[in-house]
A = this chain, B = another copy of it.
Amino acid sequence: MKTRDHSHPEVGTGAIGTNVVIFTLRDRRLYLLLVNRANNTVQPEWALPGGPLRLGEDIEQSARQQLEQEAGVTGVYLEQLYTLSGGQHRSEQWGITVAHYALFPLHELGAEQTNNGDAVGWFQLDQLPRLRGNDRQIVTMAHARLAAKLEYSTIALQFLPEQFTLRELQEVYETILDQTFDKRNFIKSVLANNFIEETGEKHRNGAHRPARLYRMKSPGKVEFTKWSVTKKVLVRRAS
């Protein structure tokens, strides 16, 4: 075990790739994007969008490139999740994958095909097909991280357009956490954190009272909240 190379003390050689769990929200359901990797086989093989990290390339850049190539999205929230090593797949060589997750705003439509011809599809989180390698594990981590961040950050707003109603915001929380909240308490909690404000406009929707529209005070930024928006969940998670 004395084979360490001191001229380049921190580096070995191997195969590196990046991965992204792209979440979106539609009809009170959490969806994510999968790519069919089985090129010409009958049996589809679904996997997370991802690709190799080229020499000299920045990790986040690489992940963003895949976001654009496979889902046609740019400028969305992206966060590194975890790095896994191992045989990615039965027939594949060993390598490591830097997993990410991204939030795709629900108001933008998703492409059904990648830029390079792979078949892609949006799958409901709780109805995923069999995934390749440890992609399933990555999805679970991504969901857990996202759910945790709802508690103490403004990340939920990344799913919403510039103007949104409080109900829409509440639905983001309820969908991701798979839980319902009391409307009055939810609003109180959100407003207490003081990161959104009324726009003055209203949102007409149907044969009922229109909802007020709100906007983020610091658009684009994801900040920490002073108080947990969903304290109940914090406790439950720990039990």
Contacts and interface: CB of A to CB of B under 8 A. Distances in A.
Given A56-B94, A83-B98, A116-B2, A10 B238 contact: no
A77 interface: no
Contacts of A13: 13-16, 52, 55
A4 B52 contact: yes
A164 to B, nearest CB: 22
A75 interface: no
Interface string A1-20: 11011101111111111110
Contacts of A16: 11-14, 16, 96
Interface in A225-239: 225-227, 234-235, 237-239
A85 B58 contact: yes
Contacts of A57: 12, 85
Contacts of A37: 6, 9
A69 to B, nearest CB: 8
A65 interface: yes
Contacts of A14: 13-14, 16, 53, 55
A113 interface: no
A152 interface: yes
A65 B94 CA distance: 19
Nearest to A18: B10
A95 B10 CA distance: 8
A85 B96 CA distance: 13
A181 interface: no
A191 B238 CA distance: 15
Nearest to A5: B52
A8 B58 CA distance: 20
B4 A15 contact: no
B239 A11 contact: no
Contact of A59 (B6, B96, B234): B96
17 contacts: A4-B116, A8-B15, A9-B51, A9-B52, A10-B52, A12-B16, A12-B17, A12-B55, A13-B14, A13-B52, A13-B55, A14-B14, A16-B16, A57-B85, A59-B83, A223-B238, A224-B237
